[in-house]
Amino acid sequence: MSDPILKLSGLTKTYNRGKPSEVQVLRGADLVIQPGEVVALVAPSGAGKSTLLHIAGLLDTPDEGHVAIGGREMTKLSDRRRTQVRRADVGFIYQFHHLLPEFTALENIVLPQLASGTPRREAEACARELLDQVGVAPRADHRPAALSGGEQQRVAFCRALANAPRLLLADEPTGNLDPDTSDRVFGALMALVRGTELSALIATHNLELASRMDRVVRMDHGVVA
């Protein structure tokens, strides 16, 4: 049996440690995601889901505990190696698209590929194919300001998948959209995820969207249930 794509074990995280204002965000969180599995993370505000996602994606480190991606321990890697693994194996999507405003939709998807050493022609072909899959190909040469909110977020999805990661982490990816647009955009995201057979951990408050994933886990008071 293959290793889990993501294994979080005993994660703890406290901010302002040792100070009167310290906040314990994670209290021994555990989570396992298998290859090809799409998991919904449902949690109230302040439960620690964003911290969990940041640690899972190697953007932050836990005070205690372990992070393994594809069976490889990540916790003690150097910053340089963590950056390399994050760039190659992890894709991120946030509630706000964070597209670079001075670049077109196509260029926003090409840039992370160029940073990973992909030749420009190959990167542009990949970007156009991804945009076509989410129905935004006709808008490839438009800058973010000329795109609707749903189009902007679909471009952000494409950017997150441009380097063919093994793990996708999404923090309220449709939380900034109206219900109808959210449903359509989430459908586009799931089509991308299923089409590439990658694993995903998607945080959402929307229980209807969560029900469309393989499994739902809940987080409260720093623990995953």
Q: Which of 21-25, 41-45, 128-132 has the highest mean pLDDT?
A: 128-132
Residue ranges per domain, the chain?
Answer: 6-224
pTM attached to this predicted model: 0.86
Q: Which residue has the higher pLDDT, 52 or 134?
A: 52
Q: Which of 44-48, 120-124, 154-158 has the highest mean pLDDT?
A: 120-124
CB 55 within 8 A of CB 13: yes
From 51, 28, 37, select the one nearest 5 (Cα to Cα). Answer: 37
CB 177 within 8 A of CB 156: no
- Domain 6-224 sits in CATH 3.40.50.300: yes
18: pLDDT confidence band, cut at 50, 70 and 90? low
197, pLDDT greater than 80? no
185: pLDDT confidence band, cut at 50, 70 and 90? confident
pLDDT for the residue 1: 56
How much is the mean pLDDT over the chain? Answer: 87
173: pLDDT confidence band, cut at 50, 70 and 90? confident
What is residue 59's three-state secondary structure? Answer: coil
